[in-house]
Amino acid sequence: GAVVSQHPSWVICKSGTSVKIECRSLDFQATTMFWYRQFPKQSLMLMATSNEGSKATYEQGVEKDKFLINHASLTLSTLTVTSAHPEDSSFYICSARDLRRDTGELFFGEGSRLTVL
Amino acid sequence: AQKVTQAQTEISVVEKEDVTLDCVYETRDTTYYLFWYKQPPSGELVFLIRRNSFDEQNEISGRYSWNFQKSTSSFNFTITASQVVDSAVYFCALRSGTYKYIFGTGTRLKVLA
């Protein structure tokens, strides 16, 4: 099946620093990737849609200057949490469509757990 | 409005019991997709099944089975003879139109040995 990989799996950082999370599609090209955020014991909330070669589309209430998304190639999207604060601590999950199949399902990465001290 | 409701927050069963996870959805679209994903403690989301709105056939895959009823807007998931490894959070999701998924709040399943 299609494989999506995220790195790092978990990261701890100090308040005020920036953290970059990578999302790669390993065996397929993904023109579109999606970034989700999941608080403990809660559902997944879509943050933004990452489009290769163009600006990301952010969901209402998501600060685009806070969560910078770059989709520079067909296999890589990055999410940068800028000037992180403890309230940014969360589980971030990316997903991608495999256009070869285009059967509707998204394939998810392993997730990245961010803890801001 | 589109919405997915998983009313069961947490379910505990003893190994080998059957368990059904409920999912009720709302959408005005005639074409849509429904999904179930499993999220084990490690965190990654594992795709289990996709069903489109025109296919009401129930599906069985090993110990897993799904019952799609458009009349009641439900897409329930049954695990037969549950095992400890089935312990996870299970999410039901809806997609229509764009590739935006609407996830339910999830059902945490605990299978006790």
pLDDT digits (tens, 9 = 90+) for A33-72: 999 999 888 889 999 999 888 899 999 999 999 999 999 8
Q: Which of B99, B105, B107, B110 to mutate: most A Cβ within 10 Å?
A: B99
Taking phi over 0 as left and psi of -120 to 50 as alpha, with beta for the rest, A83 belongs to: left
How far apart are alpha carbons A53 and A62 in whole angstroms? 21
pLDDT of residue A53: 84
**Among all residues of chain A, which has the CA nearest to that of B48?**
A105
C-beta of residue B105 within 8 angstroms of C-beta of residue B93: no
Q: Cβ of B103 and A34 within 8 Å? A: no
Q: Which of B5, B44, B96 to mutate: most A Cβ within 10 Å?
A: B44
**From B33, B44, B100, residue closest to A46, measured CB to CB:** B100
How far apart are alpha carbons B76 and A40 in whole angstroms? 24
Q: Cβ of A32 and B99 within 8 Å? A: yes
Q: H helices within chain B, ranges in order?
A: none
Interface check for B2 against chain A (CB to CB < 8 A): the answer is: no
Q: Which of B96, B101, B107, B109 to mutate: most A Cβ within 10 Å?
A: B101
Handedness of CA B53, A2, A6, B48 (dihedral sign): positive
Query: Residue B58: which pLDDT band, with cuts at 50, 70 and 90?
Result: confident
pLDDT of residue A62: 95
Between residues 92 and 111 of chain B, which touch chain A (CB distance below 8 Å)?
95, 99-101, 103-106, 108
pLDDT of residue A17: 97
Query: Residue A102: which pLDDT band, with cuts at 50, 70 and 90?
Result: low
Those residues whose C-beta lies under 8 Å from the C-beta of residue B39, and which sit 6 or more positions away, are B45, B46, B88, B89, B90, B91, B106
- Tokens 């990989």, located at residue: A5
Per residue in A36-47, pLDDT (tens digit) is 999 888 889 999
For residue A43, the distance in angstroms to the closest alpha carbon of chain B comes to 5
% of residues, chain B, pLDDT over 70: 97
For residue A89, the distance in angstroms to the closest alpha carbon of chain B comes to 15
Q: Cβ of B42 and A110 within 8 Å? A: yes
